[in-house]
Structure 1
Protein backbone atom coordinates (compact mmCIF):
# COMPACT_ATOMS: atom_id res chain seq x y z
CA UNK A 1 0.00 0.00 0.00
CA UNK A 2 1.37 3.40 -0.95
CA UNK A 3 1.72 5.90 1.88
CA UNK A 4 0.00 9.24 1.34
CA UNK A 5 2.48 12.10 1.07
CA UNK A 6 1.77 15.80 1.01
CA UNK A 7 0.77 15.68 -2.66
CA UNK A 8 -2.06 13.27 -1.78
CA UNK A 9 -3.70 15.78 0.58
CA UNK A 10 -6.85 17.52 -0.66
CA UNK A 11 -6.09 20.97 -2.03
CA UNK A 12 -8.19 22.60 0.67
CA UNK A 13 -6.07 20.94 3.34
CA UNK A 14 -2.85 22.04 1.65
CA UNK A 15 -4.18 25.58 1.37
CA UNK A 16 -5.09 25.60 5.08
CA UNK A 17 -1.69 24.22 6.07
CA UNK A 18 0.09 26.90 4.03
CA UNK A 19 -2.22 29.58 5.41
CA UNK A 20 -1.70 28.52 9.03
CA UNK A 21 2.09 28.31 8.68
CA UNK A 22 2.46 31.68 6.95
CA UNK A 23 0.01 33.39 9.30
CA UNK A 24 2.02 32.18 12.30
CA UNK A 25 5.33 33.30 10.76
CA UNK A 26 3.96 36.76 10.02
CA UNK A 27 2.17 37.27 13.33
CA UNK A 28 5.19 36.05 15.30
CA UNK A 29 7.37 38.49 13.30
CA UNK A 30 9.52 35.76 11.77
CA UNK A 31 8.79 37.53 8.48
CA UNK A 32 9.32 41.29 8.51
CA UNK A 33 6.67 43.80 7.45
CA UNK A 34 7.25 44.57 3.78
CA UNK A 35 9.38 41.45 3.22
CA UNK A 36 9.03 39.89 -0.23
CA UNK A 37 7.45 36.42 -0.31
CA UNK A 38 9.01 34.26 -3.03
CA UNK A 39 6.48 31.64 -4.13
CA UNK A 40 9.11 29.13 -5.25
CA UNK A 41 10.89 29.23 -1.90
CA UNK A 42 7.71 29.16 0.15
CA UNK A 43 6.28 26.24 -1.82
CA UNK A 44 9.46 24.24 -1.14
CA UNK A 45 9.52 25.16 2.56
CA UNK A 46 5.86 24.32 3.11
CA UNK A 47 5.86 21.29 0.80
CA UNK A 48 2.89 22.46 -1.24
CA UNK A 49 2.40 23.33 -4.89
CA UNK A 50 1.93 26.91 -6.03
CA UNK A 51 -1.85 26.65 -6.48
CA UNK A 52 -2.75 26.09 -2.79
CA UNK A 53 0.04 28.50 -1.83
CA UNK A 54 -1.50 31.26 -3.96
CA UNK A 55 -4.91 30.52 -2.47
CA UNK A 56 -3.39 30.83 1.02
CA UNK A 57 -1.78 34.14 0.07
CA UNK A 58 -5.16 35.49 -1.07
CA UNK A 59 -6.67 34.52 2.30
CA UNK A 60 -3.81 36.26 4.08
CA UNK A 61 -4.40 39.34 1.94
CA UNK A 62 -8.03 39.35 3.13
CA UNK A 63 -6.69 39.23 6.71
CA UNK A 64 -4.57 42.31 6.03
CA UNK A 65 -1.33 40.37 6.53
CA UNK A 66 -0.18 40.12 2.90
CA UNK A 67 -0.22 42.49 -0.06
CA UNK A 68 -0.36 41.13 -3.62
CA UNK A 69 1.34 43.65 -5.89
CA UNK A 70 0.92 43.36 -9.68
CA UNK A 71 4.18 42.36 -11.40
CA UNK A 72 5.94 42.14 -8.01
CA UNK A 73 4.24 39.17 -6.37
CA UNK A 74 3.45 38.93 -2.69
CA UNK A 75 4.77 40.97 0.22
CA UNK A 76 4.17 40.78 3.92
CA UNK A 77 1.90 43.78 4.54
CA UNK A 78 4.09 46.80 5.32
CA UNK A 79 2.03 47.74 8.43
CA UNK A 80 2.81 51.40 7.91
CA UNK A 81 2.28 54.17 10.49
CA UNK A 82 -1.02 54.94 8.73
CA UNK A 83 -2.07 51.28 9.07
CA UNK A 84 -1.21 51.35 12.78
CA UNK A 85 -3.20 54.54 13.31
CA UNK A 86 -6.18 52.98 11.53
CA UNK A 87 -5.97 49.92 13.79
CA UNK A 88 -5.84 52.06 16.92
CA UNK A 89 -8.84 54.12 15.78
CA UNK A 90 -10.93 50.97 15.58
CA UNK A 91 -9.52 49.32 18.70
CA UNK A 92 -10.10 52.38 20.90
CA UNK A 93 -13.80 52.38 20.04
CA UNK A 94 -14.55 48.67 19.97
CA UNK A 95 -12.36 47.47 22.83
CA UNK A 96 -13.81 50.04 25.22
CA UNK A 97 -17.29 48.80 24.23
CA UNK A 98 -16.19 45.20 24.75
CA UNK A 99 -14.84 45.99 28.23
CA UNK A 100 -18.07 47.67 29.28
CA UNK A 101 -20.20 44.77 28.03
CA UNK A 102 -17.85 42.21 29.62
CA UNK A 103 -18.23 43.92 33.00
CA UNK A 104 -22.00 43.79 32.64
CA UNK A 105 -22.32 40.25 31.28
CA UNK A 106 -19.44 37.99 32.30
CA UNK A 107 -19.73 35.24 34.90
CA UNK A 108 -17.34 33.52 37.31
CA UNK A 109 -15.98 31.25 34.61
CA UNK A 110 -15.22 34.26 32.41
CA UNK A 111 -13.45 36.04 35.25
CA UNK A 112 -11.42 32.90 35.91
CA UNK A 113 -10.32 32.88 32.26
CA UNK A 114 -9.13 36.47 32.51
CA UNK A 115 -7.36 35.81 35.80
CA UNK A 116 -5.59 32.84 34.24
CA UNK A 117 -4.50 34.92 31.28
CA UNK A 118 -3.10 37.57 33.65
CA UNK A 119 -1.14 34.90 35.54
CA UNK A 120 0.44 33.70 32.28
CA UNK A 121 1.31 37.29 31.31
CA UNK A 122 2.91 37.97 34.71
CA UNK A 123 5.03 34.81 34.46
CA UNK A 124 6.08 35.64 30.88
CA UNK A 125 6.99 39.18 31.96
CA UNK A 126 9.16 37.85 34.81
CA UNK A 127 10.89 35.50 32.38
CA UNK A 128 11.30 38.15 29.67
CA UNK A 129 9.64 35.79 27.16
CA UNK A 130 8.52 38.22 24.46
CA UNK A 131 6.62 35.63 22.41
CA UNK A 132 4.63 34.52 25.45
CA UNK A 133 4.03 38.13 26.54
CA UNK A 134 2.60 39.04 23.13
CA UNK A 135 0.41 35.92 23.04
CA UNK A 136 -0.90 36.45 26.57
CA UNK A 137 -1.67 40.12 26.02
CA UNK A 138 -3.42 39.45 22.71
CA UNK A 139 -5.36 36.64 24.36
CA UNK A 140 -6.45 38.90 27.22
CA UNK A 141 -7.96 41.39 24.76
CA UNK A 142 -9.59 38.59 22.74
CA UNK A 143 -11.09 37.07 25.90
CA UNK A 144 -12.70 40.38 26.83
CA UNK A 145 -14.35 40.53 23.41
CA UNK A 146 -15.69 36.99 23.88
CA UNK A 147 -16.93 37.77 27.41
CA UNK A 148 -18.86 40.77 26.05
CA UNK A 149 -21.28 38.14 24.70
CA UNK A 150 -22.19 40.15 21.62
CA UNK A 151 -21.92 38.04 18.46
CA UNK A 152 -21.89 41.06 16.16
CA UNK A 153 -19.03 42.64 18.11
CA UNK A 154 -17.15 39.33 18.11
CA UNK A 155 -17.50 38.90 14.35
CA UNK A 156 -16.48 42.53 13.78
CA UNK A 157 -13.36 42.17 15.91
CA UNK A 158 -12.27 38.75 14.66
CA UNK A 159 -10.54 40.03 11.49
CA UNK A 160 -8.46 42.36 13.69
CA UNK A 161 -7.14 39.61 15.98
CA UNK A 162 -4.17 38.66 13.80
CA UNK A 163 -3.12 42.27 13.26
CA UNK A 164 -3.49 43.03 16.98
CA UNK A 165 -1.32 40.04 17.93
CA UNK A 166 1.17 41.06 15.23
CA UNK A 167 1.26 44.59 16.64
CA UNK A 168 1.92 43.28 20.16
CA UNK A 169 4.80 41.15 18.85
CA UNK A 170 6.34 44.01 16.87
CA UNK A 171 6.08 46.37 19.86
CA UNK A 172 7.34 43.91 22.44
CA UNK A 173 9.91 46.45 23.66
CA UNK A 174 7.10 48.48 25.21
CA UNK A 175 7.08 48.19 29.02
CA UNK A 176 5.46 44.77 29.65
CA UNK A 177 5.22 45.38 33.40
CA UNK A 178 3.16 48.51 32.75
CA UNK A 179 0.91 46.60 30.38
CA UNK A 180 0.39 43.92 33.04
CA UNK A 181 -0.51 46.58 35.59
CA UNK A 182 -3.03 48.15 33.21
CA UNK A 183 -4.56 44.75 32.44
CA UNK A 184 -4.90 44.03 36.15
CA UNK A 185 -6.74 47.33 36.68
CA UNK A 186 -9.04 46.49 33.79
CA UNK A 187 -9.66 43.01 35.22
CA UNK A 188 -10.55 44.51 38.60
CA UNK A 189 -13.09 46.86 37.00
CA UNK A 190 -14.68 43.98 35.08
CA UNK A 191 -14.75 41.81 38.21
CA UNK A 192 -16.43 44.68 40.10
CA UNK A 193 -19.10 44.87 37.36
CA UNK A 194 -18.18 48.52 36.82
CA UNK A 195 -18.89 48.90 33.13
CA UNK A 196 -18.14 52.59 32.82
CA UNK A 197 -14.79 52.30 34.59
CA UNK A 198 -13.90 49.23 32.54
CA UNK A 199 -14.68 51.11 29.30
CA UNK A 200 -12.61 54.12 30.43
CA UNK A 201 -9.64 51.97 31.44
CA UNK A 202 -9.78 50.02 28.17
CA UNK A 203 -9.80 53.24 26.16
CA UNK A 204 -6.87 54.67 28.14
CA UNK A 205 -4.95 51.39 27.86
CA UNK A 206 -5.30 51.14 24.08
CA UNK A 207 -4.63 54.85 23.56
CA UNK A 208 -1.46 54.68 25.69
CA UNK A 209 0.24 52.48 23.10
CA UNK A 210 -0.68 54.57 20.06
CA UNK A 211 2.22 57.05 19.93
CA UNK A 212 4.96 54.46 20.58
CA UNK A 213 3.49 51.97 18.12
CA UNK A 214 3.13 54.54 15.33
CA UNK A 215 6.73 55.65 15.88
CA UNK A 216 8.00 52.06 15.79
CA UNK A 217 6.05 51.37 12.60
CA UNK A 218 8.31 53.84 10.79
CA UNK A 219 11.30 51.63 11.65
CA UNK A 220 10.24 48.03 11.20
CA UNK A 221 9.33 47.84 7.50
CA UNK A 222 11.72 45.92 5.26
CA UNK A 223 14.11 48.27 3.50
CA UNK A 224 13.57 46.84 0.01
CA UNK A 225 10.07 48.27 -0.41
CA UNK A 226 8.44 51.65 -0.19
CA UNK A 227 5.76 50.85 2.40
CA UNK A 228 3.73 53.99 1.83
CA UNK A 229 3.56 53.32 -1.92
CA UNK A 230 2.47 49.71 -1.34
CA UNK A 231 -0.12 50.81 1.20
CA UNK A 232 -1.42 53.44 -1.23
CA UNK A 233 -1.85 50.81 -3.95
CA UNK A 234 -3.71 48.62 -1.47
CA UNK A 235 -6.05 51.45 -0.50
CA UNK A 236 -6.75 52.32 -4.15
CA UNK A 237 -7.63 48.69 -4.85
CA UNK A 238 -10.04 48.62 -1.88
CA UNK A 239 -11.71 51.84 -3.09
CA UNK A 240 -12.34 50.59 -6.63
Structure 2
Protein backbone atom coordinates (compact mmCIF):
# COMPACT_ATOMS: atom_id res chain seq x y z
CA UNK A 1 0.00 0.00 0.00
CA UNK A 2 1.46 3.36 -1.01
CA UNK A 3 1.70 6.21 1.42
CA UNK A 4 -0.84 9.00 1.12
CA UNK A 5 0.40 12.02 -0.83
CA UNK A 6 0.28 15.51 0.69
CA UNK A 7 -2.75 17.48 -0.40
CA UNK A 8 -1.43 20.98 0.29
CA UNK A 9 -0.13 23.37 -2.38
CA UNK A 10 3.09 22.28 -4.10
CA UNK A 11 6.26 24.30 -4.24
CA UNK A 12 5.47 25.42 -7.78
CA UNK A 13 2.15 26.94 -6.78
CA UNK A 14 3.73 28.60 -3.74
CA UNK A 15 6.47 30.02 -5.96
CA UNK A 16 3.87 31.30 -8.43
CA UNK A 17 1.80 32.84 -5.65
CA UNK A 18 4.85 34.62 -4.22
CA UNK A 19 5.88 35.76 -7.70
CA UNK A 20 2.47 37.22 -8.53
CA UNK A 21 2.13 38.94 -5.16
CA UNK A 22 5.56 40.58 -5.33
CA UNK A 23 5.19 41.46 -9.02
CA UNK A 24 1.89 43.22 -8.31
CA UNK A 25 3.38 45.15 -5.38
CA UNK A 26 6.35 46.29 -7.47
CA UNK A 27 4.27 47.23 -10.52
CA UNK A 28 1.83 49.19 -8.35
CA UNK A 29 4.79 50.97 -6.68
CA UNK A 30 3.95 49.64 -3.22
CA UNK A 31 7.58 48.50 -3.23
CA UNK A 32 9.81 51.30 -4.46
CA UNK A 33 12.94 51.13 -6.64
CA UNK A 34 15.96 50.31 -4.49
CA UNK A 35 13.88 49.02 -1.56
CA UNK A 36 15.39 46.00 0.20
CA UNK A 37 13.45 42.75 0.11
CA UNK A 38 14.09 40.90 3.37
CA UNK A 39 13.49 37.20 2.81
CA UNK A 40 12.47 36.46 6.40
CA UNK A 41 9.83 39.20 6.41
CA UNK A 42 8.51 38.39 2.95
CA UNK A 43 8.25 34.68 3.71
CA UNK A 44 6.15 35.48 6.77
CA UNK A 45 3.96 38.00 4.92
CA UNK A 46 3.31 35.65 2.00
CA UNK A 47 3.10 32.52 4.14
CA UNK A 48 5.66 30.60 2.11
CA UNK A 49 9.03 29.03 2.89
CA UNK A 50 12.27 30.58 1.67
CA UNK A 51 12.81 28.08 -1.17
CA UNK A 52 9.75 29.06 -3.27
CA UNK A 53 10.34 32.69 -2.29
CA UNK A 54 13.89 32.59 -3.67
CA UNK A 55 12.62 30.96 -6.87
CA UNK A 56 10.06 33.78 -7.20
CA UNK A 57 12.80 36.37 -6.67
CA UNK A 58 14.96 34.81 -9.40
CA UNK A 59 12.00 34.95 -11.78
CA UNK A 60 11.43 38.61 -10.91
CA UNK A 61 15.11 39.28 -11.56
CA UNK A 62 14.65 37.82 -15.06
CA UNK A 63 11.75 40.28 -15.51
CA UNK A 64 14.10 43.13 -14.57
CA UNK A 65 12.07 43.97 -11.46
CA UNK A 66 14.43 42.63 -8.78
CA UNK A 67 18.19 42.77 -8.35
CA UNK A 68 19.96 39.96 -6.47
CA UNK A 69 23.22 41.28 -5.04
CA UNK A 70 25.81 38.87 -3.58
CA UNK A 71 26.28 39.32 0.19
CA UNK A 72 23.52 41.94 0.23
CA UNK A 73 20.38 40.06 -0.73
CA UNK A 74 17.49 41.14 -2.89
CA UNK A 75 16.19 44.62 -3.62
CA UNK A 76 13.66 46.09 -5.97
CA UNK A 77 15.57 46.95 -9.12
CA UNK A 78 16.90 50.51 -8.82
CA UNK A 79 15.57 51.33 -12.33
CA UNK A 80 18.24 53.97 -12.81
CA UNK A 81 18.03 56.80 -15.37
CA UNK A 82 20.38 54.70 -17.54
CA UNK A 83 17.87 51.83 -17.38
CA UNK A 84 15.06 54.19 -18.40
CA UNK A 85 17.15 55.53 -21.30
CA UNK A 86 17.94 52.01 -22.50
CA UNK A 87 14.27 51.02 -22.29
CA UNK A 88 13.29 54.02 -24.43
CA UNK A 89 16.00 53.25 -26.99
CA UNK A 90 14.56 49.76 -27.52
CA UNK A 91 10.90 50.78 -27.32
CA UNK A 92 11.29 53.52 -29.93
CA UNK A 93 12.56 51.00 -32.47
CA UNK A 94 10.39 47.99 -31.68
CA UNK A 95 7.10 49.73 -30.91
CA UNK A 96 7.16 51.71 -34.15
CA UNK A 97 7.72 48.41 -35.99
CA UNK A 98 4.88 46.81 -34.04
CA UNK A 99 2.52 49.65 -34.97
CA UNK A 100 3.46 49.38 -38.65
CA UNK A 101 2.81 45.63 -38.69
CA UNK A 102 -0.40 46.02 -36.69
CA UNK A 103 -1.75 48.45 -39.29
CA UNK A 104 -0.93 45.96 -42.03
CA UNK A 105 -2.24 42.83 -40.30
CA UNK A 106 -4.92 43.79 -37.77
CA UNK A 107 -8.38 42.24 -37.83
CA UNK A 108 -11.76 43.16 -36.38
CA UNK A 109 -11.31 41.14 -33.20
CA UNK A 110 -7.92 42.63 -32.46
CA UNK A 111 -9.09 46.17 -33.16
CA UNK A 112 -12.08 45.69 -30.85
CA UNK A 113 -9.71 44.59 -28.08
CA UNK A 114 -7.49 47.63 -28.72
CA UNK A 115 -10.50 49.94 -28.62
CA UNK A 116 -11.57 48.39 -25.31
CA UNK A 117 -8.17 49.36 -23.88
CA UNK A 118 -8.84 52.96 -24.94
CA UNK A 119 -12.19 52.91 -23.14
CA UNK A 120 -10.52 51.52 -20.01
CA UNK A 121 -7.83 54.22 -20.14
CA UNK A 122 -10.42 56.97 -20.59
CA UNK A 123 -12.44 55.69 -17.62
CA UNK A 124 -9.33 55.39 -15.43
CA UNK A 125 -8.23 58.90 -16.46
CA UNK A 126 -11.67 60.26 -15.56
CA UNK A 127 -11.47 58.53 -12.16
CA UNK A 128 -7.82 59.61 -11.66
CA UNK A 129 -6.99 55.99 -10.89
CA UNK A 130 -3.24 55.93 -11.51
CA UNK A 131 -2.81 52.17 -11.15
CA UNK A 132 -5.59 51.49 -13.67
CA UNK A 133 -4.24 54.13 -16.06
CA UNK A 134 -0.84 52.43 -16.03
CA UNK A 135 -2.39 48.98 -16.54
CA UNK A 136 -4.59 50.15 -19.43
CA UNK A 137 -1.77 52.00 -21.17
CA UNK A 138 0.63 49.07 -20.80
CA UNK A 139 -2.10 46.76 -22.11
CA UNK A 140 -2.67 49.03 -25.11
CA UNK A 141 0.98 48.76 -26.12
CA UNK A 142 1.01 45.00 -25.51
CA UNK A 143 -2.09 44.56 -27.67
CA UNK A 144 -0.41 46.39 -30.56
CA UNK A 145 2.47 43.91 -30.36
CA UNK A 146 -0.05 41.06 -30.47
CA UNK A 147 -1.80 42.62 -33.47
CA UNK A 148 1.55 42.76 -35.26
CA UNK A 149 1.36 38.94 -35.48
CA UNK A 150 5.13 38.51 -35.54
CA UNK A 151 6.29 35.78 -33.12
CA UNK A 152 9.90 36.97 -33.15
CA UNK A 153 8.86 40.53 -32.31
CA UNK A 154 6.58 39.20 -29.56
CA UNK A 155 9.44 37.20 -28.04
CA UNK A 156 11.68 40.30 -28.11
CA UNK A 157 9.05 42.55 -26.54
CA UNK A 158 7.98 40.02 -23.89
CA UNK A 159 10.84 40.72 -21.46
CA UNK A 160 10.10 44.46 -21.71
CA UNK A 161 6.43 44.17 -20.76
CA UNK A 162 6.87 44.27 -16.98
CA UNK A 163 9.41 47.10 -17.13
CA UNK A 164 7.16 49.13 -19.44
CA UNK A 165 4.17 48.65 -17.11
CA UNK A 166 6.37 49.62 -14.15
CA UNK A 167 7.60 52.72 -15.95
CA UNK A 168 4.01 53.79 -16.65
CA UNK A 169 3.17 53.36 -12.96
CA UNK A 170 6.23 55.24 -11.72
CA UNK A 171 5.56 58.09 -14.15
CA UNK A 172 1.80 58.17 -13.58
CA UNK A 173 1.88 61.93 -12.93
CA UNK A 174 2.51 62.51 -16.64
CA UNK A 175 -0.56 64.01 -18.31
CA UNK A 176 -2.87 60.97 -18.77
CA UNK A 177 -5.31 62.92 -20.96
CA UNK A 178 -2.53 63.64 -23.42
CA UNK A 179 -1.52 59.98 -23.46
CA UNK A 180 -5.14 59.00 -24.15
CA UNK A 181 -5.29 61.44 -27.06
CA UNK A 182 -2.05 60.08 -28.53
CA UNK A 183 -3.29 56.50 -28.16
CA UNK A 184 -6.54 57.40 -29.92
CA UNK A 185 -4.57 58.88 -32.82
CA UNK A 186 -2.45 55.77 -33.02
CA UNK A 187 -5.51 53.53 -32.89
CA UNK A 188 -7.10 55.47 -35.75
CA UNK A 189 -4.00 55.01 -37.92
CA UNK A 190 -3.87 51.27 -37.20
CA UNK A 191 -7.61 50.83 -37.79
CA UNK A 192 -7.37 52.64 -41.14
CA UNK A 193 -4.44 50.48 -42.25
CA UNK A 194 -2.09 53.47 -42.61
CA UNK A 195 1.17 51.69 -41.76
CA UNK A 196 3.49 54.67 -42.33
CA UNK A 197 1.42 56.97 -40.13
CA UNK A 198 1.03 54.33 -37.43
CA UNK A 199 4.80 53.79 -37.27
CA UNK A 200 5.49 57.54 -37.15
CA UNK A 201 2.90 58.14 -34.44
CA UNK A 202 4.20 55.25 -32.33
CA UNK A 203 7.75 56.59 -32.53
CA UNK A 204 6.61 60.11 -31.68
CA UNK A 205 4.46 58.86 -28.80
CA UNK A 206 7.24 56.84 -27.18
CA UNK A 207 9.88 59.51 -27.75
CA UNK A 208 7.58 62.18 -26.30
CA UNK A 209 7.78 60.59 -22.86
CA UNK A 210 11.57 60.20 -22.77
CA UNK A 211 12.69 63.51 -21.26
CA UNK A 212 10.00 63.65 -18.57
CA UNK A 213 10.51 60.00 -17.63
CA UNK A 214 14.27 60.51 -17.31
CA UNK A 215 13.69 63.53 -15.08
CA UNK A 216 11.32 61.53 -12.89
CA UNK A 217 13.83 58.68 -12.73
CA UNK A 218 16.30 61.03 -11.06
CA UNK A 219 13.83 61.41 -8.17
CA UNK A 220 13.54 57.72 -7.40
CA UNK A 221 17.25 56.98 -7.91
CA UNK A 222 19.14 55.89 -4.80
CA UNK A 223 22.55 57.56 -4.39
CA UNK A 224 23.84 54.66 -2.28
CA UNK A 225 23.33 52.29 -5.24
CA UNK A 226 26.03 52.51 -7.89
CA UNK A 227 24.28 52.57 -11.30
CA UNK A 228 27.46 51.48 -13.08
CA UNK A 229 27.78 48.43 -10.85
CA UNK A 230 24.11 47.60 -11.47
CA UNK A 231 24.59 47.92 -15.23
CA UNK A 232 27.75 45.81 -15.18
CA UNK A 233 25.98 43.07 -13.24
CA UNK A 234 23.12 43.03 -15.76
CA UNK A 235 25.55 42.84 -18.67
CA UNK A 236 27.32 39.87 -17.07
CA UNK A 237 24.01 38.05 -16.57
CA UNK A 238 22.98 38.75 -20.15
CA UNK A 239 26.24 37.58 -21.73
Q: Which runs of 5+ in 2 are unaligned?
A: 1-5
Residue of structure 1 in register with 2:103 after alignment: 103
Matching of residues 174-193 of structure 1 within 5 Å: 174-193=174-193
In structure 1, distance between residues paired with 2:238 and 2:163: 21
Residue of structure 2 in register with 1:64 after alignment: 64
In structure 2, distance between residues paired with 1:166 and 1:38: 21
Q: Which runs of 5+ in 1 are unaligned?
A: none
Give deviations 1:116-148, integer Å, cap 9, x for gaps. Answer: 110111111111111111011000000000000
Structure 1 position 228, deviation (Å)? 1.4
Residue of structure 1 in register with 2:173 after alignment: 173
In structure 1, distance between residues paired with 2:81 and 2:232: 15
Structure 1 position 232, deviation (Å)? 3.5
Residue of structure 1 in register with 2:225 after alignment: 226
Change over 3 Å in CA distance of 1:48–1:178 after alignment to 2: same
In structure 2, distance between residues paired with 1:14 and 1:239: 27
Q: Contact 2:104–2:195 at 8 Å: present in 1 too?
A: yes
Relative contact order, higher structure (CA 8 A, sep 6+):
1
Change over 3 Å in CA distance of 1:174–1:164 after alignment to 2: same
Matching of residues 79-228 of structure 1 within 5 Å: 79-222=79-222, 225-228=224-227
Aligned residues: 235
**More divergent stretch after superposition (226-235 vs 101-110):** 226-235
RMSD over aligned Cα, in angstroms?
Answer: 1.7
Structure 1 position 88, deviation (Å)? 0.4
Runs of 4+ deviating beyond 3 Å: none
Structure 1 position 235, deviation (Å)? 3.2
Structure 1 position 64, deviation (Å)? 0.7
Q: Contact 1:32–1:221 at 8 Å: present in 2 too?
A: no
In structure 2, distance between residues paired with 1:222 and 1:190: 40
In structure 2, distance between residues paired with 1:73 and 1:53: 13
Q: Contact 2:28–2:131 at 8 Å: present in 1 too?
A: yes
Structure 1 position 222, deviation (Å)? 4.8
TM-score, reference length from structure 1: 0.94
Structure 1 position 198, deviation (Å)? 0.1
In structure 2, distance between residues paired with 1:114 and 1:232: 35
Structure 1 position 110, deviation (Å)? 1.1
In structure 2, distance between residues paired with 1:135 and 1:55: 25
Q: Within the alignment, does 1:26 sit opposite 2:52 as a pair?
A: no
Structure 1 position 234, deviation (Å)? 2.0
Structure 1 position 106, deviation (Å)? 0.5
TM-score, reference length from structure 2: 0.94
